Amino acid sequence: MAEAAGILFEIKISEANLKKILNKSVAIFLPDEYKIDEQEILGKQKLIYFFTSLLYSCENSSANIFLFNYEGEKLFCAYILNYYTDIILKPFEKLLTLFAQNKDIESKDTAIITSIYPDVEHGYSIEKGKLTKITNSKINNNVVQHLIDKMWSFRVKNDFPEPKKALRKRTYFYKPLKSAYKRYLKQIEEIEKPAKIARATKEDPYHLFDEFYAYDNKVFEISSYGTVEVPKADPLTFRCVTNRPPCFYADKNIVFEEKNEFEESIINEKPYFKHIKKYFKIIDGIDGSTFNYVKDRWETIFWKDKKHVFIYSKKRFLFFSIYGEEQLIRLNNADVKTFEQLSFGFGKDKNNIYYCGKIMDIDNKNYIINKNGFIYDDKNVYHFTNNLNLDGKTFKVIKYESETNPFLGVFILEDKNGQYEYEHTCEFTGFR
C-alpha cells in the first residue's frame, strides 16, 4: 500500500484489565529488530510508553494519526502512517495477543491493517484468550466500515488536530495516556537537550526555562533588562531554585544569586529607585548540585546543600528590603540531615531550636509554637528573640489585637504569677 495506511482496532475490555496491560513491561513484546528514535526512553518501561511514542511520532509528522480512546468498556486505537512500513506495525501482532490474553469481556473483536480509503491488507480476530490472523476476504465489510467511520469521527474541520490540541480534547485520548505523555515529553527533552544546546546559536538560542536561554555553551537571561550572562553556568544542569526574592539558581557546581542595582533619587519629594543593572553573583562555598530551599520555595528562609544549612540575612535595610545588601550565612551548628523549618522563622534539628540563625534556649523535643509567634517549653517563653522571663508551664495568651496579624500588636499574657501587657517592639510590663 503506497498511500497512508496503518492499523485500526476496537476491543471490549474492562478498565481494570486495560490498566493491567498498560502497566506491563514494554520489553515483553518489542521485537529485537524494532528500532525507533525513542528506544532509549522506552527501555524497560511500562507498555503505556510504547503508545506515547506513537503519539510523539505525530508531533514530528502531522501526516501521521494516532488515537487511543477508551469509552464504555471499548478501546479504540488508530495508528495511520503517511509512509507505511511493515516494521513499524510489527509489534502490534504481539500487542493484540496480549490484549486477547487479558480480555475479560466475551466479544469477537477485529483489527485491520488498511489504508484510509479503505484497502484492507489483512486483519486479526481478537477473542478472549485467542488471536487469529485473517485474510482480507474473510473480514466483514460492515466491521471495516465501522472502524473507518470511527476513525474519521475524530476529525475537526475535515482534519485531525495536532497532538497538542488533541490532548486538550476529552474524547481523543485515554486519560492515563495523557498523563504518561507529559512525562514522556520531559524524558525526550532531557535526551535531546545536549545535542540541541550544542547546536544553539545567538540567532537561534535553546530555551531552558522562563527567560533563560543557552548558546555558545553559555547561559543567558534575555528579558526587558537586556541580555545578561550567568557567568560560568553549565547549560545542561542549570536550574531555578526559586525565582522570587531572594532569587537563586544553580548548576551541578555553582550557586548563583540574581542581583539588581538601583539608583535612588527624589521625585516630588518621594524616594524613587531607578534600575541600573542586573547581574548574577557566584556564591562560593556551596554545592550547586544539592542546594535547595528547606520548606518550600515561597516560604523558606532556610537553605541547605549536602553539608550545611544556611539562612538568608540582610546586612542593612533600605526603603524596600529587596534593595538591602543580603547574603547566605552558614549555620555552623545545624545538622543538615535533620533540619526542618517551623513556623514564624523558627527552625529545628536533632539538637536545637533556631530563630533565624540564633540557637534558642528551648527544649527541641517538648515545645509549642502558637499562632501568635510565641515559642515556649516548660521553662522559657520567647516571642521571636525576646526572652519574656515567664513560666512556660502556665503561660497563656489571654488577648491579642487582630486575627489578621495575630503575631503583632499589644498582647495580654498570663502565667502563674499574674497578667502582663506586652508589645513586640518594647519591653513588657506587669499590670495586675
Q: CA 196, CA 184: separation in Å to the nearest integer?
A: 18
* pLDDT at residue 31 in the model: 53
Q: What is the mean pLDDT of residues 356-363?
A: 90
Q: At what angle do helices 91-102 and 15-22 cross, to 10 degrees?
A: 140
Write out pLDDT tens, residues 21-35.
999 887 655 555 444
What pLDDT, on the 0 to 100 scale, is given for residue 244?
81
Using the predicted structure, report yes or no on whether residue 39 has a pLDDT greater than 50.
no
What is the pLDDT at residue 319? 37
Compute the distance between CA of residue 330 and CA of residue 312 in angstroms, rounded to an integer.
Answer: 9
Q: Pick the range with the lowest mean pLDDT from 140-144, 224-228, 363-367, 411-415.
A: 224-228
182 contact partners, CB below 8 Å, separation of at least 6? none
Least confident of 255-264, 267-276, 356-365, 391-400: 267-276
3-state DSSP call for residue 181?
A: helix
Banded model confidence at residue 60, pLDDT cuts 50, 70, 90: low
Cβ(305)–Cβ(291) under 8 Å?
yes
pLDDT score of 364 more than 90: yes
Name the residue with higher pLDDT: 303 or 187.
303
Contact 125, 11 (CB under 8 A): no
Q: What's the pLDDT score for residue 425?
A: 63
Q: How far apart are CA 375 and CA 303, in angstroms?
A: 22
pLDDT beyond 70 at 6: yes
CB atoms within 10 A of CB 95: 23
- The answer on pLDDT for 276 being more than 70 is yes
DSSP conformation class of 254: -
Q: 79 near 151, Cβ under 8 Å?
A: no
pTM for this model (two decimals): 0.66
The Cβ of residue 302 has, within 10 Å, a number of other Cβ atoms equal to 24
pLDDT tier, 320 (very low <50, low <70, confident <90, very high otherwise)? very low
Q: Residues 291-314: what's their mean pLDDT?
A: 87
- Name the β-bridge partners of 7: 79, 113
User: To which residue does cell 550547586 refer?
Assistant: 288
Please state the domain extents for the chain: 5-187
Can you give the pLDDT at residue 237? 96
Q: Which three cell numbers stand for residue 60?
A: 514530528
Cis previous bond, 246, omega within 30: yes
Q: Is 90 exceeded by the pLDDT of residue 214?
A: yes
